[in-house]
Amino acid sequence: MAKILMKGNEAVAEASIRSGCRLYFAYPITPQSELIEYMAKMMPKVGGVFLQAESEVAAINMVYGAAGCGKRTMTSSSSPGVSLKMEGISYIAGAELPCVIINVQRGGPGLGDIQPAQGDYFQATKGGGHGDYRLIVLAPSSVQEFADMASEAFDLADKYRTPVMILADGMLGQMMEPVEFKPAKTQEEIDELGKQHNSWCICPNEDGDKKHHHEINSLEIDPNVLEKHVNDLYAKYAVIEANELRYESYNVNDDNEILCVAWGTASRVVKSAINELKAEGKNIGLIRPINVWPYPYAAVKAAIGKKVKKVYVFELNTGQMLDDVKIAVEGKVPVDFWGKVGGIVFTPAEIKAKLEACFTKEK
Amino acid sequence: MEIIATRPESLTKTPFTYCPGCLHGVAHRLVAEAIEEFGLTNQMTGVAPVGCSVFAYKFFNFDMAQAAHGRAPAVATGMKRARPDMHVFTYQGDGDLAAIGTAEIVHAANRGEHISVFFVNNAIYGMTGGQMAPTTLPNMKTTTSPYGRNTDDIGFPIRVSELLATLIAPYYIERVSLLSPADIIKAKKAVKKAIQYNKEGRGFTFVELISTCPTNWGLDPLKSRDWAKENMLPFFKVGCLRDKGEGVE
């Protein structure tokens, strides 16, 4: 299929439909409005459900209901709206339901603004909702990757019976880039996907089995039972941590003098700066976590070559992934941070200046 | 010996966890019997709320979901949209439905969502220990209105059935009482009608059941019923507010 030029919000919506999502529930919010609008236009054409919910809270709970029926379902929003969904996400994680949540991040806290930001990293990767649970969190850095992550997210959600978040931002949602889509799943394939959950999901009791009683539930009033449930969840998360680490190594080699760590939109700017400095003979590597939970701690640590004097973290926040990088580096070398907030995206020149200063100081 | 009444097959054998004299058991049975009488046990699914009936998912003998506080109509919406071949109901109390879940019930009703809602109103939060509900009567004492509900301060009880009856989409809305055997027979008819309309795919059906809370009202079961007859029924009048099947608009 030929590449077409598309906004990230529309590309991920199209890719989700192609991945077999036929149930979409959401509430309008900038800068993800093109996503909900695309779904409103396209879902009826594929016999799917588009429902504009009365609130973010209702939307995520509709997802809870649809996911409880074992069907591919998703919701999308932007930062303030995702905060409202956190109650439902906790329930979905507790009840072990597969679904996809897209966060097209904007500036915060509070109502913040509507420009691109990465301020929801803590919320996405460290909790956000109440209780002990984890979200698989995928962080795209291009429109193509944003679109590709739709099918990856649904596959992971089904595989592990767990909610998966795609943590994008207003830049990725709004900008247009060429994108190539995978073939759309057929109705037969979608029906088969639904059947994989019939042993636990809400479904008709077709053979009249008197013991047919599936419960979609996160309530365990007996502390011992709840303890086992949470331990089982974390045993599952350990498998995810072992199997689902994803990152990109960019210009990582034994002669790196600085190792950068950046994710999503921020990583693109850092790559531009690295390229410009490479032309000037400065050797800088980048680790870009693609999945930000589970986090590729070992990969970050392993990328610290013998000549690396500093690990530099760049984010569009005040230093949230920074904590994970420090855990990974284990104090081996100094870790520095620079970021921009307020929905302002740093420029390659700004990053270049920060990196150049590292070399100047040495001399 | 002839068996004339038995536990409906649409209830599990799990013993109810309700207080002595509580009418949730009666309400559960009415819903379960109606489901069974229409032959829907194997195509039915329900949503349990947060509150005293939080464990309802254990008591109904078909697939059930347990929802976050007040969110049952949204969860039921997701279920019905995902499985239009199944029949979906929610079972909710007054704190769940009329306070924290106000938006969800109003909008599910307004969409004419094809679900049934059984709303048990006993004018108090039972599970958390007797706090003031949105349906607590004026001057009624609860643990969070220890001097009586002051309507100047906190407003008047919400008549949910009347509120929903201002909407165009709902197909059937009726308030019934569980306060006497005769009332329960009438309540059964309303519950059956809701399930019948649900089976026929008519639209949104809503039955409010006036109930008691002997434990938190501090009255024995029979006195609770007398108190409710004297105090609740004048404010929450029983009757059909909407029945498009019978031309009641």
The residue ranking higher by pLDDT, B3 or A93, is A93
| Mean pLDDT score, A243-270 | 98
pLDDT above 80: residue A60:
yes
Mean pLDDT computed over A46-68: 98
Tell me if chain A has a CB within 8 Å of the CB of B67. yes
Two tokens, residue A200: 């636990």
> With contacts defined as CB-CB under 8 Å, which chain B residues touch A202?
45, 63-65, 79, 83, 86
Tokens of A79: 């930062």
pLDDT tens per residue, range A196-229: 999 999 999 998 888 899 999 999 999 999 999 9
Least CB-CB distance to B71: which of A61, A205, A217? A61
Query: Which positions in chain A touch B107 (Cβ < 8 Å)?
Result: 53-54, 58
Domain that holds residue B129: 24-246
ipTM value for the complex: 0.97
Q: Is residue B1 a part of any domain in this protein?
A: no
Residue A35: the pLDDT is: 98
Determine contact: B68 vs chain A, CB below 8 A. Answer: yes
Kindly state the percentage of chain A with pLDDT values over 70: 99
B37 domain-assigned: yes
Structural domain count of chain B = 1
Beta-carbon contacts of A271 under 8 Å, excluding residues fewer than 6 positions away, are A250, A286
* B190 in reach of chain A (CB within 8 A): no
A and B: number of Cβ contacts within 8 A: 134
Which structural domains are found in chain A, ordered by start? 4-195 (3.40.50.970), 247-362 (3.40.50.920)
Q: What is the pLDDT of residue A207?
A: 87
Cβ of B13 under 8 Å from any chain A Cβ? no
Asked whether the predicted pLDDT for residue A13 surpasses 80, the reply is: yes
Cα separation, A255 vs A270, whole angstroms: 18
B59 touches chain A (CB under 8 A): no
Partner A, chain B 106-135, Cβ-Cβ below 8 Å: 106-107
Is B9 inside a domain boundary? no
Contact of B199 with chain A, judged by CB distance below 8 Å, is answered with no
Q: What is the pTM of this model?
A: 0.97
pLDDT at A81 over 50: yes
Whether B167 is covered by a domain: the verdict is: yes
What is the pLDDT, as a whole number, of residue B51? 96
* pLDDT tens digits for range A120-150: 999 999 989 999 999 999 999 999 999 999 9
Helices within B91-220 (DSSP H only): 94-95, 102-110, 151-154, 160-164, 181-199, 214-217
Q: pLDDT confidence of A363, banded at 50, 70, 90?
A: very low
In a domain, B111, yes or no: yes
**Three state DSSP letters for A267-294:** HHHHHHHHHHHHHCCCCEEEEEECEEEC
Is B97 a domain residue? yes
Please give the share of chain B, as a percent, with pLDDT higher than 90: 97
Q: Write down the pLDDT at residue A362.
A: 52
Segment B142-150 long-range contacts (CB within 8 Å, at least 24 positions apart): B142/B216, B143/B216
Confirm whether B11 is domain-assigned: no
Nearest CA in chain B to A23: B82
- Is the pLDDT at A10 greater than 90? The verdict is yes
Q: What's the one-letter identity of residue A79?
A: S
Mean pLDDT of A97-121: 97
Q: Does any domain span residue B4?
A: no
Q: For A175-200, what is the mean pLDDT? A: 95
CATH number of the domain at B88, please: 3.40.50.970
Q: pLDDT under 70 in chain B at which residues?
A: none
